Amino acid sequence: MKKNISSIIVILALIGLLVATFFLQYEYLFLTRIASLIFAIVYLIIEVKHRYFSTKKPLFILFGVISVLAITGCIILDENSATDGFNARSFMLLVFVFILLVVSYKDLYNKNDAAK
């Protein structure tokens, strides 16, 4: 239970950081921040309902693929609409999202094994 609470606190901190970025840099990666905020809220729901998603692992994997593709599309749209040119560092967000998905899946997998 303690691990579940710490995961929820980390996700809430991420949501707080994403909300704070709307006040710090309004025009930079706007669509990407909105998509990231939506997916962070959904991952919070997944963390709260971890028993359901531990039995529905393909649903979690499908959602992970959809979130990576959506964030990729948002980064491309944001970079094409920017006036200062293409910034390849923005795609490092995808590496961060992928690492978070792998850690979340392993956490979900370990919780499912512990429940058996």
Tens-digit pLDDT profile for residues 60-111: 888 889 988 998 898 888 888 766 666 777 777 788 888 878 877 777 777 6
Question: CA angle, 12 as apex, 10 and 15 as ends, to 5°?
Answer: 115
Six-digit token pair at 75?
Answer: 């980064």
Pairwise CA distance, residues 4 & 97, whole Å: 19
Number of separate helices (H) and strands (E) present in the chain: 5, 0
DSSP E strand stretches across the chain:
none
- Look at residue 7 and tell me whether its pLDDT is greater than 80: no
* φ, ψ dihedrals at 84, nearest 5°: -95, 10
Reading the block at residue 35, the tokens are 């998509």
pTM above 0.85, yes or no: no
